[in-house]
Amino acid sequence: METIKTIDYGEEMWQDYVDYAMSVITDRALPDVKDGLKPVQRRVIYSLSELTRSDSPHRKCARIVGDTMGKYHPHGDSSIYECLVNLAQSWKLPIPLVDPHGNFGDVSGSGAAAMRYTEARIARYTEEGLKDLKYCEFMPNFDGTEKEPVHIPFLIPNMLTSGATGIAVGMATNIPSHNLGEVADAEIAYLNDPSITTADLLNYVKGPDFATGGIINTDMDNLLSIYENGYGRIKVRGKVEIRDAGRGRRSICVTEIPVTMINGTEKFLNNVADLVRQGKLPAVVDIADRGDKDGECLAIDVKKGTTDEEIDKILNILYKKAGLEENFSVNINCIYNKKPEVMGLKRILECYTEYKWEVYTSKYNKLLEDQRDIREIKSGLLEAVDVIDLIIEVLRGSKTTKEAKECLMFGKTDNIKFRYKGSINDAKQLHFTEKQTDAILAMRLQKLIGLEVDILMKELSDAEKKIAKYERLLKSKTAMKNQMVADIEELKKNYAIPRKSLIKNIGEVELEKEKVVATEETILLDRFFYIKSAPRAIFEKNPEVARKFDLNVMSTDRIAIFDSQGMVHIIKVSDILKKQTKKDKKFRITDKGIQIFEFCAMSHDADVVAVLNVSEMNPLGNIDSQTAKDIIEAGKGKVNIRNLVFVTEEGKAKRAKADLFDTSRKTAQAIKSNIVYVGYEGEYIVAETESGYSIKVRSDEIPEQGKGAGGVQLISLRRGDKVTGAISAGNESEFGGIKLSDMKAVKRGGKGNKKGK
């Protein structure tokens, strides 16, 4: 019998998308805090370790990619090869995890050669992380035919030393790389004192250390905040040397690029060229990439006679406008126990160390078990040497291996023919274990040689010592911790490299402000949403030009566009002028203009309600509310911040400080409703409805509210009616052909009067 299942599509799609998002987050884009690797990286490294050693010949990358895809990662060869290349690039990883051979690209952005040409093998450092892999947890691969490691047990947190970047669904990660020696010291410090603070850990981890070097321009307070919270922002800039370029000229040489310029050195040089063409770097006479195998040298030659002060100004422009200094957003978002988590430095060490204890406990339990087996076998063999004649007699008198084993293990002699009758009683005393018995049966006669017996005795002694050591490690946390520390110190001794990135609080780059000549303009906006800026003198000579709004401004002003969906959009007049100039070198008053949607995010379904000059929203010009408040508190005068009045179709109104809309954001909420009127506050507010009703209310009847508030009821509308027009002005003004002085002011919230009554 068939059953029909009712499914809510919205709910089903939501659940499917959540499942997909979590899959991308946990199985693709974010690294695991325990080994700092994403699944594809872990699989590439494991597959590479099966094919190569650090001292074996390199293997073709096509073979490595094929093995990884066929055994562990069935998601396409391009993503696997890209991962392999990234793990081998020395300008991305301070200590690459793959040893490359062939063309693997370069720092400027040139791509690697095809996988059929390049070769690779496991790096020596990565082999250190794989030493304890056999003691770790494995899981079935995608089709259950192979086993793959759940994590790779690096001796220190690889997530910190290698860093990571990734974009998932709804979240991302951007973890900077760190110096191996510093991370090793921090891990040792945490092992010795788990209560250590983040501030104390920063005595060991000085900050990020990028493979490209450069300068990290930040202060300790910012670093402490980043390493406590797991996110923040630092500035990275390139290192520069001033060199002699010959013929009396000097050259600004970028010897170490910021990490943000990886794959972008060509873009940097193009940016410098653009600045030269714009006349902002008049002293620059040549730009070239003179990098070689020994290092970077992005050279910017300056003309003869350029002073040190002028070079400093050029450098500031390069930092600010060419990309030689950029922001690097730190976001230490990673996977811990199959869940994403943003972690600070101490939390990373805590989670990693917890995993490290699991690995070491598993390792030494397994080693202890192995050594106990060795002790059992070696001691059995030595016992066997003492009664070797009896054992040989048992073996010769046995018809089957089973009979021989039962005799050696349990002293059963029923079916065995002994050469000497006295041997029967001796055989009954035999009590070897099963492992000892198997070893005796497999023993070769050469073990009876005197030197071989000495070797057995030495092997037994070594096993006893190892058993004692492993039991001590497993029983004592202090002993285990000391072993961890010793292993880390050995790793540091073999692989630590000097710090590459310099950390220095240089501060903000300040450029000399360009002198801007302000011109008188008029903003014109028509009903088809085309906007343009015309010189005021030209507009005054052509007042008949079509427009819905016109507004006198200066070229340095900003305008506020209020739309019918309750939003305000801020546009710079200079942006309109720039775009106009690009479209047509010579402006004409009859030009169509540019659609407003190119300057702001106004909805195509909205209409423009008002266009105001932002600088006029405050009677004192560009003064802000806080400055006005400071003036009042200092007793230096009275400041009245100008108000705006909003009236909506639903009959609501509000007053709000005009300078609230002097915002740096390009788009902001103005009122939680559609708008029919925005204007500066007058003595009265008058509104008219579609049915011909109107109301006049004193402005101070309407309370002052915040930027996004919805207002209060100005007029109570009849069913199906709506406000179609409004004004805020004094009694001397007119509205709808009627003087405001002829209308009677009433309390807000009334139903209003029919026009003409």
Note whether 82 and 38 are within 8 A (CB): no
> Active site residue: 17, 20, 117, 420, which one?
117
Question: How does DSSP classify residue 692?
Answer: S
Q: Is 117 a catalytic residue?
A: yes
Note whether 208 and 345 are within 8 A (CB): no
The alpha-helical segments, DSSP class H, found in 496-532 are none
**Backbone phi, then psi, for 349, in 5-degree steps?**
-65, -35
Cα–chain center distance at 200: 25
Q: What are the strands, taking DSSP E only, across 171-270?
A: 172-175, 215-217, 231-237, 239-246, 249-256
**Backbone phi, then psi, for 328, in 5-degree steps?**
-120, 115
User: Which residues sit opposite 616 in a β-bridge?
Assistant: none
CA 62/CA 117 separation, integer angstroms:
8
Buried b / exposed e over 106-116, threshold 16 CB at 10 Å, is ebbeeebeebe
The alpha-helical segments, DSSP class H, found in 570-675 are 573-583, 625-633
How is residue 113 written in tokens?
A: 């050669």
Cα–chain center distance at 236: 15
For residue 157, give the nearest of 117, 186, 134 by alpha carbon: 186
Q: Which contacts qualify for 367-376: CB closer than 8 Å, 24 or more apart?
A: 367/466, 367/470, 368/467, 368/470, 368/471, 368/474, 371/463, 371/466, 371/467, 371/470, 372/463, 372/467, 373/435, 374/459, 374/463, 375/460, 375/463, 375/464, 375/467, 376/433, 376/435, 376/436
Task: Tell me the DSSP string of 531-584.
Answer: EEEEEHHHHHH-TTS--SEEEEEETT-EEEEEETTSEEEEEEHHHHHHHHHHH-
| Three-state secondary-structure class, residue 289 | strand
752: region left, alpha or beta (phi > 0 left; psi from -120 to 50 alpha):
left
Query: Within the chain, what is the greatest distance between any pair of CA atoms?
Result: 142
For residue 161, give the nearest of 136, 138, 139, 182 by alpha carbon: 182
CA 46/CA 44 separation, integer angstroms:
6
Buried b / exposed e over 419-433, threshold 16 CB at 10 Å, is eeeebeebbeebebe
At 337, the amino acid letter reads N
The alpha-helical segments, DSSP class H, found in 291-344 are 308-317
CA 10/CA 16 separation, integer angstroms:
10
Beta-carbon contacts of 444 under 8 Å, excluding residues fewer than 6 positions away, are none
Strands 502-503 and 215-217: parallel
Residues with catalytic roles: 117
